[in-house]
A = this chain, B = another copy of it.
Amino acid sequence: MDPAITSSSNPVVKRFRKLHRARGRRETGFTLLEGPTLFALAADAGVIPEAVLMGESDEATQVLCAERGWEPVLVLADVLGRAAESIHPQSPVVMIAIPPPSPMRTRDTLILRDVSDPGNVGTMIRSAAAFGWDVCISGASVDPWSPKVIRAGAGAHFALQISSSHDPISDARNLGLETVATIVSDGLDPARGEQPVALLIGSENSGLSPEDIGRADRTLTLPMSGETESLNAAVAASIAMYALGRL
């Protein structure tokens, strides 16, 4: 089988490259995922690809596509590299439709306010899926469907519900969730009432706004015993979800 696309200026490659940017994803409603593991997880979750570019000698993708009746397009390695968002992409590079955001539910939900690092957002989505939480994206948080975030999510995007909200504190309150503001110091130990929790996580640099903290039903600070009091944002969110899940 000869490569069907040998030039990076092919229109298909341009369609893929457009999705490297938030604007291109917003305009088209598509995003990219890369590598055999993510592709297999997405397929298992019922995701149907819009287009599959694969490098030569990628048997796993050939087999998976044959099983499902999908038609991958064989491309040269440098074409794959151009189409992919990552620097050292693995075959395949797959275009998928971004699922419409689900509404927030009466259920433990991690609310991202202004979380800007794609790795952090992906890691939080991964932890939320592991602990059975939903995720809500709000404020200036990074697009949860960017290829970088999907990569850090390691397949979790297809195992939980992701909502988005302009006023997540009001939405959570209307659903009967208890809103909990995660703060770096001087907050309360992890605790919960009868209701599900809406756990608010702020930006990596400046945390939650005073307004968000003031509006929340309670605060949460993880007890720390070391000399520093600083955790990576995704680690802090993950530990808080774990701790609240054990109460």
* B154 lies within 8 A of A226 (CB): no
**For A131, A229, A232, A245, which residue has the most chain B Cβ atoms within 10 angstroms?**
A232
Out of B119, B123, B155, B245, name the residue touching A225 (CB < 8 Å): B245
A231 near B: Cβ within 8 Å? yes
A60 near B: Cβ within 8 Å? no
State the Cβ distance, A241 to closest chain B Cβ, in Å: 9
State the Cβ distance, A114 to closest chain B Cβ, in Å: 18
**In residues 122-138 of chain A, which contact B (Cβ within 8 Å)?**
123, 126-133
State the Cβ distance, A2 to closest chain B Cβ, in Å: 33
* B225 lies within 8 A of A131 (CB): yes
Out of B133, B228, B235, name the residue touching A123 (CB < 8 Å): B235
Copies per assembly: 2
State in angstroms the CA–CA spacing of A75 and B123 once bound together: 37
State in angstroms the CA–CA spacing of A129 and B128 once bound together: 24
Out of B129, B224, B229, B246, name the residue touching A226 (CB < 8 Å): B129
Out of B128, B155, B242, name the residue touching A242 (CB < 8 Å): B242
State the Cβ distance, A228 to closest chain B Cβ, in Å: 5
Contacts of A142 in B (CB 8 A): none
Minimal Cβ-Cβ distance residue in B for A131:
B226
For the complex of A and B, the 3 pairs showing the least CB-CB separation, nearest first, are A132-B226, A132-B225, A235-B238
A199 near B: Cβ within 8 Å? no
For chain A, which range describes its interface: under 10, 10 to 19, 20 to 34, or 35 or more residues? 35 or more
Q: Which positions in A face B, CB cutoff 8 Å?
A: 119, 123, 126-133, 152, 154-156, 159-160, 222-232, 234-235, 238-239, 242-243, 245-246
* A130 lies within 8 A of B238 (CB): no
Contacts of A223 in B (CB 8 A): 245-246
State the Cβ distance, A223 to closest chain B Cβ, in Å: 7
Contacts of A129 in B (CB 8 A): 226-228, 230
State in angstroms the CA–CA spacing of A245 and B131 once bound together: 20
* A228 lies within 8 A of B119 (CB): no
Minimal Cβ-Cβ distance residue in B for A222:
B242
Contacts of A156 in B (CB 8 A): 228, 230
* B130 lies within 8 A of A230 (CB): yes
State the Cβ distance, A130 to closest chain B Cβ, in Å: 5
